[in-house]
Structure 1
Amino acid sequence: MAGIHHTAIIEDGASLAEGVSVGPWCVVGREVELDAGVTLLSHVVVAGRTRIGRDSVIHPFASVGGPPQDLKYAGEPSTLVIGERTVVREHVTMNPGTAGGGMETIVGNDCLFMVGSHVAHDCRIGNRVVLANNATLAGHVTIDDHAILGGLTGVHQHVRIGGHAMVGGMAGVEHDVPPFALVSGNRARIDGLNIVGLRRHGFVRSEIDALRAAFETLFAGEGGIYEKAERVRREHPGSEAVARLLAFVRIEAARPLCRLARADAS
């Protein structure tokens, strides 16, 4: 049986699986689904067509599933899906999708959203992603697995952030961030590889060296990005990490790629 505090409001129609805990003064909307083991600590609002995966924890004063902050939103039945074992800390906000973005906002498994962070409509967040305090995502942002955003980071709409990337605190991210990159600044520029993150996730020295060389060619070398990508492909045919990087940069995206920091200084 679900453990429901007597001050919580659970609207008729809400679906609560076995082992769900809803603490004091929480509000759960009529179209919400909470999978097994979900915990709402206290003063949490879960609204709209929101599904929260098993064993996720929502901390006080978080509000997820409320209407998108988009003037074009007209009440369409869009959704918010939060994965398993994800931790949502105090004052976090997350919104469902819109008709202009696929009708769905998706958050993956094992993520951490620190105090005051925001996920806007139609975002796609991978697994094991971390948003530090007050990091904010505009609509339609895509973040791949293992990426980390520092505190007070602001991400422009439609930006892609690749896997294992690290975005420094207070960065203004208006261009796509390649996988494995370390970026910082206002506006955010590439400082190099996210070496610490790569080592933490078990990347071997040969792969790190291949990525370092690929970054130098792609972002500091002469020529167009597709020409340089082909050069990198020929130079590192056996590197899986380089292949992932090239797959990211070859996509025709809504936003351009971040530039190398020292390229701006030259």
Structure 2
Amino acid sequence: MATSDGLVVGSAFGHHARMPDCDIHPTAVIHPQAELEAGVEVGAYAVIGPDVRIGAGTIVGPHAVLEGPLRLGPRNHLAAHVTLGLPPQDDGYAGEPTELVIGSDNRFREFFTAHRASTKEDGVTRIGSHNLFMAYSHIGHDGRIGDRVTISNASQLAGHVQVENRAYISAVCGVHQFVRIGSLSMVGGGAVVTQDVAPYCTVTGNRARLRGLNHRGLQRAGLDAGERRRIRQAYDLVFRRGLTLEQARQAIADDPGLATPWIEALVAFMTGSDRGLVR
């Protein structure tokens, strides 16, 4: 059934050309310019706006709100009251058609929010695949979230934050704008992070301080004992020898045993740090 403003309400949309083989609750409201691929489920009272594309097999829970431009890949699962694609919380934003682009197989729990980008970078907020975003967590505008990331309950990421693959952010954390969280790192519960967190490290506290390597995360990622030992050697050079970053980089480069992709990633992260590293 179409409303006076052109929206389509309910399961009458089930055979719409842009929504093949979808299961849509009768109370859902979907704009005719939205595109749903095969097998999408839309729960009660969900609202889907124009210029929203939803990949096959995605589940949109009750009371979810999706605004475009939004690209949502296949097999994502949105719990109740998830909100995706609203405008950025940025005073300089003037209604430009920026985007939120999301990969596949993510789980977004209750009241999760992610905003479209501002115009201060490339106009896209990006979320990768196979991530878990727990209840009440938030991704700010222009964020970059990798793959297999976990962000726990009520943790809030400001605009322009980057989180690399397999990072773990515990509950009730705050991450300052433009901060980078390195791969396989862990942010402890309640931390306030104002500088970059190096790959493989654990930080805790307000303000966050370095607590060592994320040994459990490295093991779970399948790194063997030899690789973990080399990472510990590089960690010691960077954080425990009293060296400057340039001296630590040179010491790592001078040791051929440390010439591995994992340590190269650590060096590249350090080199690209504008805010400085949590120590």
Q: TM-score range by the shorter chain?
A: over 0.9
Residue identity in the other structure for 2:265: R
| Alignment match, 1:138 | 158
Compute the displacement of 1:220 (Å). Answer: 2.1
1:249 aligns with 2:253: no
1:98 is aligned with what amino acid?
Answer: S
Contact 1:48 1:67 in 2 (8 A): no
Point out the more displaced range, 143-152 or 241-250. Answer: 241-250
Q: Greater shift after overlay, 226-235 or 138-147?
A: 226-235
Matched residues in 1 for 2:254 and 2:179: separation? 28
What is the DSSP-based 3-state SS (H/G/I as helix, E as strand, rest coil) of the residue aligned with 1:65? strand
Tell me, yes or no, if the aligned pair for 2:237 and 2:243 is still in contact at 8 Å.
no
- Distance in 1 separating the partners of 2:274 and 2:177: 9
Q: Secondary structure at the match of 2:44?
A: coil
Name the CA distance, whole Å, in 1 between partners of 2:99 and 2:261: 34
Deviation at 1:215, TM superposition (A): 1.1
* Larger CA deviation: 213-222 vs 61-70: 213-222
TM-score, normalized by length of structure 1?
A: 0.95
Q: How many residues align?
A: 258
Q: Aligned residue for 1:75? A: 95
Aligned to 1:129: 149
Post-superposition offset of 1:2? 1.0
Q: For residues 134-163 of structure 1, give each alpha carbon's deviation from its aligned partner in whole angstroms, at most 9, with x where no partner exists.
A: 111000011110000000011000001111
Question: Percent of aligned pairs with the same residue?
Answer: 38
**Cα distance in structure 2, aligned partners of 1:169 and 1:28:** 34
Query: What is the match of residue 263 of structure 1?
Result: none
Matched, 1:21 2:41: yes
Structure 2 counterpart of 1:70, one-letter code: D
Find the structure with the greater CA-based Rg: 2
Q: Partner of 2:120: helix, strand, or coil?
A: helix
Contact 1:129 1:147 in 2 (8 A): yes
Conserved? CA contact 2:61–2:81, under 8 Å: no
Once residues 49 and 230 of structure 1 are traced to their aligned partners in structure 2, the CA distance between those partners, rounded to angstroms, is: 45
Residue in 1 that maps onto 2:10: none
Aligned to 2:67: 47
1:101 Cα deviation after fit: 2.3
Matches within 5 A, 1:106-255: 106-235=126-255, 236-251=257-272, 253-255=273-275
Q: Quote how far apart the aligned CAs of 1:233 are.
A: 2.2
Does the 8 A contact of 2:179 with 2:194 survive in 1? yes
**Partner-residue secondary structure (3-state), 1:106:** strand
Structure 1 unmatched ranges of 5 or more: 260-266
Measured in 2, the distance between the counterparts of 1:217 and 1:232 equals: 8
Aligned AA (2:60): L
Give the Å deviation of 1:175: 0.5
Q: Secondary structure at the match of 1:215?
A: helix
C-alpha distance in 1, partners of 2:143/2:240?
A: 30
Q: Which runs of 5+ in 2 are unaligned?
A: 1-20
Q: How does the TM-score come out when normalised to structure 2?
A: 0.90
For 2:75 and 2:156, the matched residues in 1 are separated by: 24
Match of 1:37 in 2: 57
Give, in whole Å, the separation in 2 of the partners of 1:220 and 1:186: 21
Mapped to 2, the partners of 1:250 and 1:60 lie a distance apart of 41
Q: What is the alpha-carbon root mean square deviation over aligned residues? A: 1.0
Per-residue deviation at 1:223? 3.2
Residue type of the alignment partner of 1:231: A
